[in-house]
Amino acid sequence: PFGPVHGSRHDSFMLRQSGLMHILRLCCGVGQTYCLFGDSAYPQSAYLYRIYRGVLAPWQTAFNQSMSRYRVSVEWGFGKISKLWPWLDVAKSQLLLRRDYGKYLQVGNILSNMHTCLYGSIVNSKFGLSPPALHVYMAGGPYP
C-alpha cells in the first residue's frame, strides 16, 4: 500500500508516487472504462478528469456543473471522518503526534468505513447505494 508520505508534497506528486493511474489502466478492460475526477492540481488524462477552464462549450459547462455536485459529496466523506474522530485534527497540530499522523488518519478512515457499514452515510444515500455488510468490508470483499 501507498503512504503515508512524510512532509508537504504537491497533489500531483502524490498521485504519481501512488501508482494509482497505472492500477486504473490495468482495471480498464475492453469496453469498460473507469476514471477519477480531481481538482485542477491534477493533470488531465484518459483516466483522470477535472473541471474545464476558460471559454467553454455548452457541454463543458454542463459537465462542470454536474461534476461539482459529486465533488461536494466527496467532501461529505472527509467531513464524516472529522466529525467522528475530532482527535485527528488535534493530532495533526500536536508536534508529538504529527510523526504518526498518517497512521492515525488511516485508522480514522477504516473506522469511518466500518461506521458506514453499520449506519450508512449521506454519501451512500445521495447515490442510492447500500454499504456492504461489516463482515464483507472487513474481509475485503467481494462487493456486489
Cα–Cα distance for residue pair 29/38, rounded to 1 Å: 22
Return the amino acid letter for 131.
P
Dihedral through CA 1, CA 106, CA 80, CA 35, nearest 10? -10
User: Would the pTM count as exceeding 0.75?
Assistant: no
The count of residues in the chain is 144
Q: How many structural domains is the chain composed of?
A: 2
Write out pLDDT tens, residues 29-88: 767 777 888 888 888 888 888 888 899 999 999 999 988 878 788 888 889 998 998 888
Kindly state whether residue 58 falls inside one of the protein's structural domains: no
Kindly state whether residue 6 falls inside one of the protein's structural domains: yes
Kindly state whether residue 64 falls inside one of the protein's structural domains: no
Cα–Cα distance for residue pair 97/99, rounded to 1 Å: 6
Cell of 144: 456486489
Kindly state whether residue 63 falls inside one of the protein's structural domains: no
Say whether both 144 and 75 belong to one domain.
yes
pLDDT of residue 98: 63
Q: What domain range includes position 26?
A: 1-50
Please give the mean pLDDT across all residues of the chain: 85
Cα–Cα distance for residue pair 35/55, rounded to 1 Å: 24
Kindly state whether residue 56 falls inside one of the protein's structural domains: no
Cα–Cα distance for residue pair 53/33, rounded to 1 Å: 24
Region 13-31: mean pLDDT is 83
Say whether both 141 and 86 belong to one domain.
yes
CA angle 3, 82, 117 (to 5 degrees): 80
Kindly state whether residue 10 falls inside one of the protein's structural domains: yes
For residues 16 and 118, is the Cβ–Cβ distance under 8 A? no
Kindly state whether residue 57 falls inside one of the protein's structural domains: no
